[in-house]
Amino acid sequence: DTGVSQDPRHKITKRGQNVTFRCDPISEHNRLYWYRQTLGQGPEFLTYFQNEAQLEKSRLLSDRFSAERPKGSFSTLEIQRTEQGDSAMYLCASRETSPRDRGQLNSPLHFGNGTRLTVT
Amino acid sequence: GEDVEQSLFLSVREGDSSVINCTYTDSSSTYLYWYKQEPGAGLQLLTYIFSNMDMKQDQRLTVLLNKKDKHLSLRIADTQTGDSAIYFCAERIGNQGGKLIFGQGTELSVKP
């Protein structure tokens, strides 16, 4: 399977604990996105990377959240001191861009199956 | 601001056509997308349309775009029980790194 891979699929944690999720994008994709989806809602943008550079962070990404993509391949999303309101599905997506057209090429976002976080 | 709205539920009978509607607010949208999400799964890209097109057909799927009214629709012909899922409309705004703004999703229920 050469799609976007996320690990773990499910995570149950107690309030106050730290959690880390991993995303492996499609190998030739240089852009990687994190989204959060709560029950009954559409995905909400959190942050995205162009290779290893984090180019944008949403206001939803509080200082308890940190994302990295150290070698421009896989990415991690860490949540410190989890709260019950952090319970959600965390989705990762990737796409390729062509430097020549400055990212305007319509390569669509390909999503992984997500990590479902439950904070008790 | 950027906002995408969809009706929450749609119920149809197997074999009928389904039409899922979406409205968006940002006139600088470059591409508009339809994604499908089955329970417990991620989002599967169904189809997309460039903002200077009016219509796109792909097998059982027809996308109509009214740019003046900022209205997008997805028609599924001959709807099957396997089409039951949540359908998300999403817009891509120009010069915003390719990120998508999603609607809240329309739950399609197909009855046999």
- pLDDT one-digit tens code per residue, A57-81: 998 888 999 999 998 899 999 999 9
Q: CB neighbours of B108 closer than 8 A, spacing ≥ 6?
A: B10, B11, B12, B18, B20, B76, B79, B83, B84, B85, B86, B87
For residue A11, pLDDT beyond 90 = yes
pLDDT of residue B55: 95
Q: How far apart are CA B34 and CA B57, in angstroms?
A: 13
pLDDT of residue A96: 83
Nearest Cβ partner for A114 among B35, B42, B92: B42
With bands split at pLDDT 50, 70 and 90, how would you rate the model's confidence at B95? confident
Nearest Cβ partner for A108 among B40, B48, B96: B48
Q: Which two tokens stand for residue A111?
A: 């999503």
pLDDT of residue A2: 73
For residue A47, pLDDT beyond 90 = yes
B88 vs A: CB within 8 A: yes
For residue B79, pLDDT beyond 90 = yes
Mean pLDDT of chain B: 92
pLDDT of residue B99: 85
How many contacts does A have with B, using Cβ atoms within 8 A?
67
For residue B76, pLDDT beyond 70 = yes
pLDDT of residue A1: 53
Peptide bond preceding A8 in cis form (omega within 30 of 0)? yes
Structural contact between residues B86 and B77, judged by C-beta atoms closer than 8 angstroms: no
Distance between alpha carbon B105 and the CA centroid of its chain, in Å? 8
With bands split at pLDDT 50, 70 and 90, how would you rate the model's confidence at B58? very high
- pLDDT one-digit tens code per residue, A70-116: 988 999 999 999 999 999 999 999 998 765 545 455 678 899 999 99
The secondary structure of chain B as a DSSP string is ---EEE-SEEEEETTS-EEEEEEE--TTEEEEEEEEE-TT--EEEEEEEETT-SEEEETTEEEEEETTTTEEEEEESS--GGG-EEEEEEEEETTSTT-EEE---EEEEEE-
Structural contact between residues A25 and A94, judged by C-beta atoms closer than 8 angstroms: yes
pLDDT of residue A19: 98
pLDDT of residue B2: 67
Structural contact between residues B111 and B13, judged by C-beta atoms closer than 8 angstroms: yes
Contact A91 B42 (CB under 8 A): yes
Mutate to test the interface with A, among B8, B100, B104, B106 (most CBs of A within 10 A): B100
Mean pLDDT of chain A: 91
Give percent above pLDDT 90 in chain B: 74
